[in-house]
Amino acid sequence: MTKLTRRGFNFMCGTALVAETFSAAWPRISMAAMANTPDPDKLTAMTLTEVSGMIHMKTITSTELVKALLDRINLLNPKLNCYITVMGKEALAQAATLDAEQKAGKFRGPLHGIPISLKDNIDTAGTRTTAASPMFKDRVPTEDAEIVRKLKLAGAIILGKLNLHEFALGCTGDISYFGPSRNPWNLAYVTGGSSAGSGAAVSATLAYGALGTDTGGSIRCPSAWCGIVGLKPTIGLVSIRGIIPCSADLDHCGPMARTVEDVALMLTQMAGYDSLDIFSVPSTPADYVKEMTQPVKGFRLGTPQSFYDHVEPEIEKAIKAALEVLTSLTAGVTSSAPLWSELPGGAPGDSEFYHHDLIERYGLNYMLPTRTRFERMENPTPGAKVATAADDARAHQKLLTTRRMIDASFKDFDLVVVPTTRNLAPTINDSLANETKLSKAPASSGSRLEGVNGKVYDWFAPGGGCTNTAPFDAYGIPAISLPCGFTESGMPIGLMIAGPHFTEGKVLALAYAYQQATQWHKKLPFLNASTVVPPIIESGSSEAKIMPEAKPGVDAK
């Protein structure tokens, strides 16, 4: 097994590594799937690993993949609202170039010709990148983010830009200049955020994979609530240069897809040192597809008890069943896993300094909940405590101390297993009513004000959707969410696995072993042209609460 370290920097993804990565993935590709070109609906429902195999076997072209996805986006995006910008013309042009290389027998790697989509806070040269804000509705970058450049070089096709919670500042995904993204399992519900469109697009088979960013849970929360797989890697393993910051000290970029092997394949191509990214760290190249298949029988699991407090009953039931499966696959739960408890947030000035400059240039041109946050920052109420430079430095020191200490917590266990979220996804209407209520609350109440039905869903508040995920951004350690069940009404439930810094291989291996022992990843939401889109009612009235139940998922295989 290749071990990642902070020393011995080497450039990622050499030719031999790419070949080894792909050959390792091939045995899991259905030969029957390669035999004939499937119809467009079946084609879009295939996994990234499967279509990668078909590209390399020359049984399908990149152009066919792009066209199938564009047709599905045209049909379903008006219902899901997950894409802000569809880059159809550009994607077809990329596909033509990659098809010519395919015909000549030249492959750039396992992502050759595979359409993926990007959260719309990741810069794309010549295509607007909005952060889902009126502030940036016309913003067109002149350079690609480093991760976009890297993926294009690896042969990935950029299909479009995906909706998000404005400036990635929330865990629901419902606050966007372009309107809320909708959960494919029930269009009345939020996707989770902030990588809202990424979760919805992958779940509804409008992309084979997507990039998300994660500051408090923004990859893992939508992965859990949309029933897909999402990985937040070790801090600095994937470049964040060219990504609009949320809170830079806590920001991560990671892959989202429908299976663990797809995420492993994407991460292998994404990881690598960026000398111009001040948060990037040197790392040794790793084949995560190969590491994913390592034995897990000797793994010792920890279940930190505080992460199981106040968990909703249906989530508790699903996680208990998942732990039974994991116990049978490993050395079992060997510790209550007390983790380093001196948990900081982001430094007070980390987000504010970026937005202070924006406000000076554009004014407070945000959506209402975001605007309220920054109004209070720019014009604090009399008597309110204002963070100082000393507070900022103190918080930064605490964050760095936490990251140095956390690995020592993994003494009597190798990995921890917790619910990704403690609560189920709320309806869009209830969430918007709650957001509005919070934005109108007195500054002294802040985010602690109770929302609709006595619940608070945003990650700035206790009990929010990102309560379990946020600590792992402070720790800076790898954490993955994968599906582990459904509620009685048909909504997905997520399981989170995490390990010390640079143990992505172990995290992926346990997730893969669990996936192989279960069938949850094979379910897809039921959506077609006749699917009814419920109205958005922000009042939180009784009318807003009358929503249809999710339809049973369909099997992907």
| Residue 418, beta-bridge partner list | 496
Mark 297-336 as b/e (b = at least 16 C-beta within 10 Å).
eebbbbbbeebbeebeebbeebbeebbeebeebbeebebe
Q: Which of 52, 117, 195, 218 is catalytic?
A: 218
User: What residue has token string 């139940």?
Assistant: 549
Q: Is 320 a catalytic residue?
A: no
218 belongs to the catalytic site: yes
CA dist., res. 557 & res. 554, Å (int): 9
Q: Take residue 125 and report the two structure tokens written for it.
A: 């040269």
Write out the two tokens for 137.
Answer: 């509705």
Contacts of 487 (CB under 8 A, 6+ apart): 314, 424, 493
- Which of 94, 120, 115 minimizes the C-alpha distance to 44? 115
On whether the CB atoms of residues 121 and 81 are closer than 8 A, the answer is no
What does residue 249 show for φ and ψ, rounded to 5 degrees? -60, -25
Among candidate residues 62, 117, 194, 351, the one labeled active-site is 194
Tell me how crowded residue 379 is: count the other CB atoms within 10 A of its CB. 10
Dihedrals phi, psi of 278, to nearest 5 degrees? -65, -15
Cα separation, 13 vs 108, whole angstroms: 10
Q: 532, 483, 479: which is closest to 502 by C-alpha?
A: 479
Closest CA to 227 of 411, 482, 533, 552: 482
Q: 523-524 and 554-555 as β-strands: parallel, antiparallel, unpaired?
A: antiparallel
Tell me the residue ranges of DSSP E strands in 398-489.
415-419, 479-486
H-helix segments, 288-419: 288-291, 313-329, 348-362, 368-378, 389-409
Indicate if 119 belongs to the active site: yes
Give strand pairing partners of 524. Answer: 554
Q: Among the options 119, 290, 506, 523, which is catalytic?
A: 119
The number of residues making up the chain comes to 557
**Which residues lie below 8 Å from residue 437, measured CB to CB, with a gap of 6+?**
449, 451, 452, 540
Are the beta carbons of 270 and 284 closer than 8 angstroms? no
Residues classed as catalytic: 119, 194, 218
